[in-house]
Structure 1
């Protein structure tokens, strides 16, 4: 990611954070609509609490984009836990699409092509690290 992309992600997330509960609900609704195979992963999960965790995790990642060494080990650990939950590689794509859609809904006109591209770059970086970690033998 370029420094400009990092700045765009960080600045735009400041506008999402105040509506984080609504954004989390939009995200999970969209995810389950576009990829019903993800719904069973959350059957015994309080989605309100899960949404808070999601937004906290996104905030952690966004803050750490300037210091990847602080976020990549956590992302790798999270990916290994996700293997145990039954998350598949294909689901990373639908999660990314749901995230970008949610950001578009939450940011409205502020979700410019440049902001969208920056978020796509951030998600691609993170998801590639997570997929690679999930492929590691003994990842579960």
Structure 2
């Protein structure tokens, strides 16, 4: 990932992090369920306000470590393994990315621009690809 993109993601996340977690999470999950209603049952065990806090806490942690990604790749792998147990498939990542970018655009308002969109897209794509790779390896082991 480009250093300037990491910096831009960190800067803009600090603005989004000032918004109430339930508000940001509510925007994200509502958009995700509009885009891919079939994933809604995956979230039925945890109330959305609690799920929102978990999501935003994890995002904050990962974003804080973007410039030291090698330090958190084990945690990203564990997160991917949990997602496998929840039934997450590769095609879900595109919808999550779209919902995330939409949520960020709403949360950042005038601060949202092409540079910010590209930075977030690079970061999300890098992390999503790493998670999908772990899930595919896990699926391969289970088939073997």
- CA-based RMSD of the aligned residues comes to 1.2
The equivalent residue for 1:94 is 95
Aligned residue pairs, count: 139
1:70 shift after superposition? 1.9
Deviations 1:57-86 (A, max 9, x none): 100111010000122111111111111111
8 Å Cα contact 1:41-1:85 kept in structure 2 = yes
The equivalent residue for 1:14 is 14
8 Å Cα contact 1:60-1:71 kept in structure 2 = no
Question: Which blocks of at least 5 consecutive residues in structure 2 are unaligned?
Answer: none
Rounded Cα–Cα distance in structure 2 between residues aligned with 1:12 and 1:122: 13
Rounded Cα–Cα distance in structure 2 between residues aligned with 1:70 and 1:59: 15
SS of 1:18's partner is: coil
- Check if 1:36 corresponds to 2:26: no
Return structure 1 stretches of 4+ with deviation > 3 angstroms: none
Rounded Cα–Cα distance in structure 2 between residues aligned with 1:64 and 1:22: 24
Normalised by the length of structure 1, the TM-score is 0.96
Alignment of 1:49-64 (within 5 A): 49-64=50-65
Question: Which blocks of at least 5 consecutive residues in structure 1 are unaligned?
Answer: none
Normalised by the length of structure 2, the TM-score is 0.93
Rounded Cα–Cα distance in structure 2 between residues aligned with 1:21 and 1:116: 23
Rounded Cα–Cα distance in structure 2 between residues aligned with 1:48 and 1:71: 26
